[in-house]
């Protein structure tokens, strides 16, 4: 990116975002403008993407053309052989509760680029954490765009700089800085509600991890896209399985709780459909008989466990 002088009216977090972009290989002026729009007006951006905003309903053909333009621009900056689609530019990785806690409790700066064995997309697959103790909570744009959203709204965790400061500075009524303990409390409360932790990556957000979203299947735009056939979410690398020595009581609690509809009742007992299971762990803690557990499944990819990655050098 070329050097650009900002007038004093530009907010410090915008300058910091720009300067970080200049230090990021392959990050263009178009990427910065896209990232600025996404971070500055996330409720409009996500509302249009989910089809809930009135602009999306009235200007649907134009919205589709803009989306196609953004995808083509992303493809232009990617390696020709990768042929990325929309999901390559904006995607999430399912992280079970323990892995989500690791992401907010990490005590050091992190630089783990090109994690294609964990983030199976052609773009936006780096974990670069600067000032990882700077965590902000933001009202969820997906929930806020819905007419009858799940509550509470303040569940999206923005991790590290320059993202946390950008969000708080531009959304003082919807975002605030929080401590690691407060972030962990949010994770625990959302898991108890049956919601899924997703680590999100986006090309326009410097091509890297920037947030942990706590997603409900009814409001989440990414889960909505998955149901429509857009592979925006990657499995945690785990699947839920029954302990062989235990007998299912047939209560159906796990099937009712599963956000991905991966469990069904057959002949009075629960069956996990592993092809659908994303390894979020919601069912494990909902089972009153404690017969479910998460097990590694190599066919589902590698897990995003930051402490293991740091100890193994990525």
Please give the average per-residue pLDDT across 23-48, as a whole number. 92
Residue 91 pLDDT grade (very low, low, confident, very high; cuts 50, 70, 90): very high
CB-based burial, 142-161: b 16+ in 10 Å, e otherwise: bbbbbeebbeebbbbbbbbb
Q: How far, in Å, CA of 296 to CA of 240, rounded?
A: 9
Q: How far, in Å, CA of 309 to CA of 304, rounded?
A: 8
Sign of CA dihedral 233, 280, 283, 182: negative
Structural domains of the chain sorted by starting position, each given as residue range(s) with its CATH number in brackets: 12-235+302-311 (no CATH), 238-296 (3.30.70.20)
Residue 77 pLDDT grade (very low, low, confident, very high; cuts 50, 70, 90): low
Residue 72 pLDDT grade (very low, low, confident, very high; cuts 50, 70, 90): low
pLDDT at res. 81: 46
Q: How far, in Å, CA of 313 to CA of 112, rounded?
A: 8
By DSSP bridging, strand 208-215 and strand 110-112 are unpaired
Residue 23 pLDDT grade (very low, low, confident, very high; cuts 50, 70, 90): very high
> How far does the chain reach from its first CA to its final CA, in angstroms?
27
For residue 284, the Cα-to-chain-centroid distance in whole angstroms is 21
Residue 281 pLDDT grade (very low, low, confident, very high; cuts 50, 70, 90): very high
Please give the average per-residue pLDDT across 180-203, as a whole number. 98
Residue 85 pLDDT grade (very low, low, confident, very high; cuts 50, 70, 90): confident
Q: Are 119 and 200 in contact (CB under 8 A)?
A: no
Per residue in 95-137, pLDDT (tens digit) is: 999 999 999 999 999 999 999 999 999 999 999 999 999 999 9
């Amino acid at each position: 990116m070329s050097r650009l002088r900002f007038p004093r009216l530009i907010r410090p977090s915008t300058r910091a975002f720009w300067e970080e972009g200049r230090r990021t290989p392959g990050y263009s002026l178009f990427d910065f403008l896209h990232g600025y729009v996404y971070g500055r007006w996330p409720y409009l951006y996500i509302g249009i993407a989910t089809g809930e905003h009135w602009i999306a309903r009235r200007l649907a053909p134009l919205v589709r053309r803009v989306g196609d333009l953004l995808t083509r621009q992303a493809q232009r900056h990617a390696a020709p052989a990768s042929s990325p689609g929309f999901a390559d530019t904006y995607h999430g990785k399912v992280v079970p509760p323990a892995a989500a806690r690791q992401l907010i409790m990490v005590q050091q700066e992190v630089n783990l680029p090109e994690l294609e064995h964990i983030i199976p997309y052609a773009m936006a697959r780096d974990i670069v954490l600067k000032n990882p103790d700077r965590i902000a909570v933001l009202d969820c744009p997906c929930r806020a765009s819905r007419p009858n959203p799940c509550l509470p709204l303040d569940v999206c965790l923005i991790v590290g700089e320059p993202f946390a400061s950008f969000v708080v500075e531009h959304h003082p009524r919807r975002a605030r800085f929080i401590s690691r303990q407060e972030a962990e409390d949010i994770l625990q409360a959302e898991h108890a509600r049956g919601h899924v932790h997703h680590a999100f990556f986006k090309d326009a957000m410097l091509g890297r991890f920037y947030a942990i979203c706590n997603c409900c299947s009814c409001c989440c735009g990414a889960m909505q896209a998955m149901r429509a056939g857009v592979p925006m979410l990657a499995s945690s690398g785990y699947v839920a399985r029954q302990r062989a020595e235990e007998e299912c009581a047939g209560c159906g609690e796990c099937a009712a709780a599963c956000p991905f509809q991966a469990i069904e009742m057959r002949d009075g007992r629960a069956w996990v459909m592993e092809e659908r299971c994303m390894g979020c762990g919601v069912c494990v803690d909902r089972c009153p008989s404690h017969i479910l557990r998460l097990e590694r499944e190599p066919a589902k990819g590698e897990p995003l466990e930051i402490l293991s990655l740091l100890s193994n050098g990525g």
